[in-house]
Amino acid sequence: MKDRFNGILLTRNEAKETIVERRELGLDDLMDGDVIVEVEWTTVNYKDGLAITGKSPVVRRWPMVPGIDCAGTVVESSNARFSPGDKVILNGFGVGETHTGAYAEYARLNGDWLVKMPEGIDGRTAMAIGTAGYTAMLSVMALERHGLTPDRGPIVVTGANGGVGTVAIALLGKLGYAVIASTGRPGEADFLTSLGASEIIHRDELSGPAKPLNKERWAGGIDAVGSHTLANVLSMTSYGGAVTACGLAQGMDLPASVAPFILRGVSLLGIDSVMAPLALRQEAWARLARDLDPEKLEAITSEIGFRDVIEAARDIVDGRIRGRVVVKMEHE
């Protein structure tokens, strides 16, 4: 392990503006943990974009090495679950927000946050999935636990061109569900259909103020948008259906009525990918290894080098990225 290594560091100036620097780091710049991982692959999520641009108060400790996901190899461990040479995945637990994260050649982490790489998945694939894809899997599992089967009717996926949306469509399509994809980029209709969507609607249909109840259009939904969009999705969910909430691209508010809940028995299922217990994480990653079509994952994935992370973070916040971005760590 090197004494000095490349990374990205976020600091704030007196005006509380975020300052982003590519710089040389050492172990003293990393927070405590019982496992040191050599980062081989990482990714750019929407939350990473918010952290680097400072457009939302994602970072709550300064200075901070951002990056909420990584895949790599254990190089040091005092945790009984891990030994040097183990391949591991990290998602969540405040890494990149309150604990120094993945945008460096090494990450020092709590071993309880790590999942061993499941059979059939390598580091690049794990980061092509990333927190976004893992969140999509948690959402699909929640709908299944609620009893939503393909014969109940279609599932609407909002933010369809984003990381959660693209993986959710691919998963649902392979599992036999009819999928309605909501997107602000109608030119991507063919792409979304190739992933498994059977119908494309424009996000404008869902982005305005919602009626308390609207015509029933779907059995359930996976929503990564929030605000009026989630309210509309709920108002159009059929009797006994369910919708998962896992994002806030439109906003954190929910200007909805109780009508779908008390007149149609609709359920709103919260999805937390950050603090999910180990058993649920392991189940989700095992399902991803089994249920996500590798060719469809590759179709939604682009690869960049570590030097391009900052630009990609800005692009994802501005809506210029489709699907998933994997980052190959540069060890110099």
CATH number for the domain harbouring residue 153: 3.40.50.720
What are the tokens at 292? 């996500």
Counting DSSP H helices and E strands in the chain, the numbers are 10, 15
> Are residues 86 and 158 located together in one domain of the fold?
no
> Are residues 21 and 55 located together in one domain of the fold?
yes
* Contact yes or no for 231/211 (Cβ under 8 A): no
Q: 278 in a domain, yes or no?
A: no
The pairing of beta strand 114-116 with beta strand 69-77: unpaired
What are the tokens at 247? 């994002």
Q: 276 in a domain, yes or no?
A: no
Range of the domain at 220: 131-270
Q: What is the pTM of this model?
A: 0.93
Amino acid at 166: T
Give the chain's residues under pLDDT 70: 332
Q: How far apart are CA 45 and CA 283, in angstroms?
A: 22
Which of these three, 270, 292, 316, is where a domain ends?
Answer: 270
Which of these three, 270, 286, 320, is where a domain ends?
Answer: 270
> Are residues 260 and 150 located together in one domain of the fold?
yes
> Are residues 60 and 160 located together in one domain of the fold?
no
Amino acid at 225: V
What are the tokens at 254? 């929910």
- Classified as helix, coil or strand, 103 is coil
* Contact yes or no for 162/182 (Cβ under 8 A): no
> Are residues 265 and 135 located together in one domain of the fold?
yes
Q: 293 in a domain, yes or no?
A: no
> Are residues 143 and 179 located together in one domain of the fold?
yes
Q: 93 in a domain, yes or no?
A: yes
- Tokens 């059939």 locate to 120
* Contact yes or no for 75/37 (Cβ under 8 A): yes
Q: 166 in a domain, yes or no?
A: yes
Q: 54 in a domain, yes or no?
A: yes
Q: How far apart are CA 37 and CA 65, in angstroms?
A: 14
> Are residues 11 and 87 located together in one domain of the fold?
yes
CB atoms under 10 Å from CB of 308, counted, come to 15
Q: 178 in a domain, yes or no?
A: yes
**CATH number of the domain bearing residue 313:** 3.90.180.10
Q: Where are the beta strands (DSSP E) in the chain?
A: 4-12, 18-26, 35-43, 69-77, 87-91, 106-109, 114-116, 155-157, 179-183, 199-202, 218-223, 237-245, 267-270, 301-305, 324-328
Q: How far apart are CA 230 and CA 218, in angstroms?
A: 13
pLDDT (0 to 100) of residue 332: 66
> Are residues 255 and 144 located together in one domain of the fold?
yes
Q: How far apart are CA 168 and CA 53, in angstroms?
A: 26
Q: 284 in a domain, yes or no?
A: no
> Are residues 24 and 79 located together in one domain of the fold?
yes
Domains in the chain, number: 2
**What's the full length of the chain, in residues?**
332
pLDDT (0 to 100) of residue 31: 98
> Are residues 202 and 163 located together in one domain of the fold?
yes
> Are residues 135 and 238 located together in one domain of the fold?
yes
Which of these three, 227, 253, 270, is where a domain ends?
Answer: 270
